[in-house]
Structure 1
Amino acid sequence: MRRKIVEAVVVNKNSQKGVAQMYGFTEATVSHYVRAYKNEGNAGLTYKKRGRRLQSCTKLCLENEEKVRDVIEHHTPDQVGLECVLWTRKAVRQYISDTYGITYSVRDMGDVLKRWGFTPQKPMKVAILIWFSIGLRSITQPFKRKLSKKKPPYIGQMKWD
């Protein structure tokens, strides 16, 4: 688009005001494009990278993030020494704190997990059975009755509680 604007002004000899109205830009913007073209040539018309740099505002370095993601994908929390079976925001937060000494709030941990591509999901039936078998909740008759009346609680392999 910048090239078309500059071409209309420089090559076709249209006025900057007319080109600005034709393309829906301000006169100052058109003037800026023409000046950049005259000073730097076609290089002045390229779009510059904007925004913050990748990894500029993260607590973990890229290498450690990869390690944590690998642990989440291939291990369960009890395999890495935590007291739970399913990965939750709190479990990931605890693992990072224990391993790297870096603390996140639970809210921030949810944002980090979302950025890494993890989403909250319901647990597999096997995970629920493991959860009960290690004694986090005992399977008793009153609990079975409560469970039969209602749907199971929304807990996930990546529960964001």
Structure 2
Amino acid sequence: MFWIVDPCVSELAGDARQLSPSAQEAIRLRAVAALVAGRTRQDVAAVFQVSLKAVDNWWAKWLSGGREALVAQPRGRRVGEHQVLDAAEQQAVRQAVLDHRPCDLGLAGQLWTRAGVGDLIAKLYRVRLTEPGVGKYLRRWGLSFQRPDKRAVEQDAEAVRLWREETWPTIRAKAKAEGGEVLFADQVGIRSDQVTGRTWGAKGCTPVVRRTGNRFSVNAMSAISTKGRMHFMVFTETFDADVMCRFLERLAGHLDHKVHLVLDGHSAHRSPTVRAWLAAHPDRIELHFLPPYSPELNPDELVNADLKRSQPMHSRARDQAQLAAETRRFFHRRQRQPHIVRGYFGGPHVRYTLE
């Protein structure tokens, strides 16, 4: 009787210590299968190029635990085993990073880095970790390195809460009862020398974007609704009460129902000229003002960000007229993309408008 060896086995033969765990597992299982089939210990050891002791150990494991005793087991320490910081200490550091700035805890800076977190750990527990070691803890805690949002220190948290929970629901209910529509509005400026975005280039050699050296700018005001509608006006003069009234005139002319316009507390929005216009058109437009220093509550701020991010990447304007035309093309393009306009309301800080 001849014993035909699987070709895969010959590939696994050799010094088993140099093989992968899965390959070692395959040798053990095939060796035991050969013993079950009636082969002698010596034959199996010779074919698989292992010692008799190894064959005996595999056979003993097979008899005591079956196939499960021969499969590969995870190597090394289990996740979380023998860590420098225990669970309570890790939770304390994680919460400190989430709730405080470094300067709040007697450290340097306002943003957390791996070195900063390492300094905090050293300050609290007299343990100094390497930056890669700190990075492993941060990832294990579910944290990632991000660009933070900015908030004005003058912002009133209670005013923001009242806006979300009381003022906004009241405005929405009033507009619905009147058969009107709520729009969020804001103004933005675009400069010819603004460069944003990234491009590919050779390492160590910063790419150059060639554009006009003349400096000019245009301004725009837009208003958007949760239904995906957008209204805008591009202008070159400074934004003031007269420009605001012109925008209100255009907005009222485009709609056949009352508009509840939500915007920030810019001085032009509250000027006597604008108040007089509103008093003369009480059934056309009503203004509502966001809490002070709270631009993140306005979905139209995301329109501005979208404009400033996409416009410089495609701009070839050589003068103010061309820049104004490119800005109008951006808004016309977005007017034909209501799904993108609706998407502005899905941002984490403005999602309250949909709830």
TM range (shorter): 0.5 to 0.7
Check 1:9–1:63 CA distance in 2 against 1; reply closer, same or farther (3 A cut).
same
Distance 1:107 1:47 in 2: 30
Instruction: Tell me whether 1:69 sits opposite 2:69 in the alignment.
Output: no
Identity of aligned residues (%): 25
1:18, CA displacement in angstroms? 5.9
Gaps of 5+ in 2: 1-25, 154-193, 198-355
Check 1:48–1:98 CA distance in 2 against 1; reply closer, same or farther (3 A cut).
same
Structure 1 stretches (4+) deviating beyond 6 angstroms?
148-151
Instruction: Tell me whether 1:104 sits opposite 2:129 in the alignment.
Output: yes
| SS of match in other structure, 2:107 | coil
- Once the two structures are superposed, the pairs formed by residues 1-161 of structure 1 within 5 Å of their partners are 1=26, 2-3=28-29, 5-10=31-36, 12-15=37-40, 17=43, 25-28=48-51, 31=55, 32-38=57-63, 40-42=64-66, 44-45=69-70, 47-121=72-146, 123-126=147-150
Check 1:118–1:125 CA distance in 2 against 1; reply closer, same or farther (3 A cut).
closer
Matched residue count? 127
Q: TM-score, normalised by structure 1?
A: 0.53
| Larger helix proportion of the pair | 1
Q: Is the 8 A contact 1:8 1:19 kept in 2?
A: no
Name which one, 1 or 2, has greater alpha-carbon Rg. 2
1:159 maps to what in 2? none
Distance 2:60 2:72 in 1: 15
Tell me the amino acid that sits aligned with residue 121 of structure 2. I
Gaps of 5+ in 1: 131-147, 152-161
1:114, CA displacement in angstroms? 4.1
1:13, CA displacement in angstroms? 1.5
Distance 1:68 1:81 in 2: 14
| Larger strand proportion of the pair | 2
Tell me the amino acid that sits aligned with residue 118 of structure 2. R
Distance 1:103 1:109 in 2: 10
Check 1:37–1:101 CA distance in 2 against 1; reply closer, same or farther (3 A cut).
same
